[in-house]
Chains A and B, each alone.
Chain A
Amino acid sequence: MYEFDWSSIPGALPFLWEGMKVTLVITVQAVLIGIVWGTLLAMMRLSPIKALSWFAAGYVNLFRAVPLVMVLLWFFLIVPEFVGQLFNIPRGTDMRLSSAMAGFALFESAYYSEIIRAGIQSVPKGQISAASALGMTYAQAMRLVVLPQAFRNMVPLLLTQGIILFQDTSLVYVSALADFFGAAYKVGDRDGRLVEMLLFAGAVYFVICFSASLLVKRLQKKYSTA
């Protein structure tokens, strides 16, 4: 039988925490950019201007048809080269983190935009008519009347997507970045304790995501009774 030896974990905690910070930075920036760019995409998709709505539909469908791993590989192997030549960035500059972050943000925006579009469409049409009857422009009606209500309905879904995103960040493994999972893998590989480190990493993800999802459920209850 396998004999567990957890002794390499305590000493590795500072290094793992450094990795967790990378994970959190990628998650938070992808959520923020995802919501902003996703909102814009959703509004384009619903706009009466055909060109805008086609662009948004194409963007969303493209990113939703391609695996995240593939997008990250694009942003690991190809985009840095291309951007480097375009802006004359010296060769060998380490762009892995910023590139992975860009890939995540662009990818997740497609998913956020679908959530936000559904949220906007869940607001009764009369609200827009009422707003324009009050003399508001379309942009004002969106900003002051529709979006605040839409976002209120969407909060639980946006947070749930955030939890999924937090889990997905482990895929930056393909660009050899030391996020939490990458750090755990490195330590386990170095000490010959891969079994313990992988189980530990799994447990940490489970505790974080499970607690977060319980919080979201609570929030949902509070909102739905309000």
Chain B
Amino acid sequence: MNYQWNWGVFLQPSASGDDTYLGWMFAGFKMTIGLSLSAWVIALLLGALVGVLRTVPNKVLAGFATAYVEMFRNVPLLVQLFIWYFVLPELLPASIGDAYKQSNPVMQQFLASMICLGLFTSARVAEQVRAGIYSLPRGQKNAGLALGFTLPQTYRFVMLPMAFRLVVPPLTSEFLNIFKNSAVCSTIGLLELAAQGRQLVDYTAQPFESFIAVTLSYIIINVTVMTLMHKFERRIAVPGYIGGK
């Protein structure tokens, strides 16, 4: 194997001339972080809502929530992404669809990726929230109702404050997944880390350096998120439970 290692390649000016290859990588890094964090906000909000709906006694609401979760869980992420990116603009009313198609292409890619990742992850978050609510002792709900709370009040003041704390550790792994899953968005041309890695291979002809650097970036993201979440988990752990103080 006669491979010429050249780590200096990252400091060379890039093909576009106004940046270095390291700058390309950093742009991809920022895109991955920005996309994942904004999708995570959607996933948390929708996931919490749908997860709660799955546990309510109202059959229509619970049925809707179940359908939502099953739909997003049983279609591959890549197919969902392509549907958001290629199919949805066609199905929107012409005026909105055309306005979307004429907007900045990077914005289109980012929007489709963010919505796709956000909704995909929200179904998983919903499952964790549901499991968290079901893991509460039944007596908590009964006690809330016996004290004269309405059902929404029981959820709001008794069950959810507990359930959301219990659910943080399993959510950490979903949070890690959203960063990894964001790499799928390279397939529609969004220049996040994986796509920049591919581009670096083409432009620099130094495939090993490029891929090692990108892979390391993912590992760094992973370790950082794990460390931060571990601290957060310890802070909000419920005393008296395993893992509590």
Contacts and interface: CB of A to CB of B under 8 A. Distances in A.
Contact of A67 (B76, B79, B94, B218): B218
A130 interface: no
B80 interface: yes
A85 B90 CA distance: 47
A99 B145 CA distance: 59
Interface stretch (A119-127, A139-147, A202-210): A202-210
Interface residues of A, number: 36
B74 A209 contact: yes
Contacts of B93: 1
A198 B78 CA distance: 10
Interface in A48-92: 62, 65-70, 73-74, 77-78, 81-82, 85-86
B90 A2 contact: yes
Contacts, number: 103
B222 A167 contact: no
A73 to B, nearest CB: 6
Q: Which of B86, B183, B218 has the most CB of A within 10 A?
A: B183
Given A1-B93, A66-B218, A70-B194, A173 B86 contact: no
A197 B194 CA distance: 26
B78 A170 contact: yes
Given A73-B197, A78-B211, A201 B79 contact: yes
B232 interface: no
Contact of B208 (A1, A78, A199): A78
Contacts of B184: 67, 69, 171
A195 B85 CA distance: 10
Nearest to A71: B215
A68 B180 contact: yes
B228 interface: no
Given A74-B211, A209-B74, A65 B82 contact: no
B75 interface: yes
B28 to A, nearest CB: 12
B85 to A, nearest CB: 9
B55 interface: no
Top 7 closest pairs, chain A to chain B, by CB: A67-B183, A209-B74, A167-B76, A65-B222, A69-B183, A67-B180, A170-B76
Interface of A: 1-2, 62, 65-70, 73-74, 77-78, 81-82, 85-86, 167-168, 170-171, 173-174, 181, 185, 194-195, 198-199, 201-202, 205-206, 209-210, 213
Given A70-B214, A181-B79, A213-B74, 5 more contacts: A70-B197, A77-B198, A77-B201, A171-B76, A209-B75
